[in-house]
Amino acid sequence: MRVVVALGGNALLKRGQTLSAAAQRENVQAAARALAPVASKHQLVISHGNGPQVGLLALQSAAYGGADAYPLDVLGAETEGMIGYMIEQELGNLVPFEVPFATILTMVEVDPGDPAFKNPTKPIGPLYSEEVARRLAVQKGWTVRPDTGGWRRVVPSPVPRRIFEIRPVRWLLERGTIVICAGGGGIPTMYEPGTRRLTGAEVVIDKDRASALLAAELEADVLVLATDADAVYLDWGRPSARAIAQMTTAELEGHAFAEGSMGPKVEAAREFVLRTGKRSAIGALEDIARLVEGEAGTQIVPAR
């Protein structure tokens, strides 16, 4: 099978964890152990989140007084290279030496007229106390909002329209390569109105929506969204909470999920199934192999 696995940002750097290279590498090692069995059986494409990492790079860039801070598209490209390098190395330590890897810097087009530009919702960077978050908002012109355990910066998150490097990804897959691409939702780009001049966009594309588009364009057999929860739950946070083992796209329409956490994953998984008629799965990082086989997490299937 051709499998696309999207590693959540919190699967690579857990909530509240120190934003260090050592902590990230430890989590990538855990991800590699979960991915290796899949790589031994299937064509594998890996995407990943970058919220904590791009937020850290933005802070480091802003702290340097000698030049303007780097824009989010450039920082996104940096995180694609950094995280892709770690995944290549750690997964490469677990699979046969002759298996080739490639990390693709992936530009993704967004619409400059997308309403998301006027409504920032995508959290990036570390958690702050409310006092610190509000002070940074004034100092740096940020938009900040409450998040689980604190406050975070939020930026626009427009809908991905096109993945520019989809053909090279296909070529690499046809030659047995494990491909890492569309990291952090891809490098956000847009055409200047009325022109064919491509430029960067000061946004972060949702990784799950970009992964759904990637999987559909690659005609993947299954899309796996790996996160820090073992499944999608109904009535999350209540005594009546219960995990969903399987649900059709039609059945999902009757339920609402948290916008800042599980909601985007469910919607992306649903979009992929509706577009392709294939299957998607949401669940824990350590269950990736079982998610691929349909034996764990929440399996989202076409309407009967």
- Catalytic positions are 9-10, 122, 207, 265
Q: Are 284 and 278 contacting, i.e. CB atoms less than 8 angstroms apart?
A: no
Pairing state between β 222-227 and 122-128: unpaired
- Size of the chain, expressed as the number of residues it contains: 304
Instruction: Please report how the helices 166-174 and 207-217 are oriented relative to each other, as an axis angle in degrees rounded to 10.
Output: 60
Cβ neighbors of 226 (< 8 A, separation 6 or more) are 5, 6, 7, 8, 11, 31, 34, 283, 284, 285, 287, 288, 291
For residue 210, what are its two tokens?
């970009």
Written as one string, the DSSP assignment of 70-130 is PPHHHHHHHHHHHHHHHHHHHHHTTS-TT--EEE---EEE--TT-GGGGS--EEEEEEE-H
DSSP summary character for residue 298: E
Radius of gyration of the chain (CA): 19
Question: What are the helix and strand counts (H, E) for the chain?
Answer: 10, 17
User: What whole-number distance in Å separates Cα of residue 260 and Cα of residue 255?
Assistant: 15
Backbone angles phi, psi at 243, to 5 degrees: -75, 145
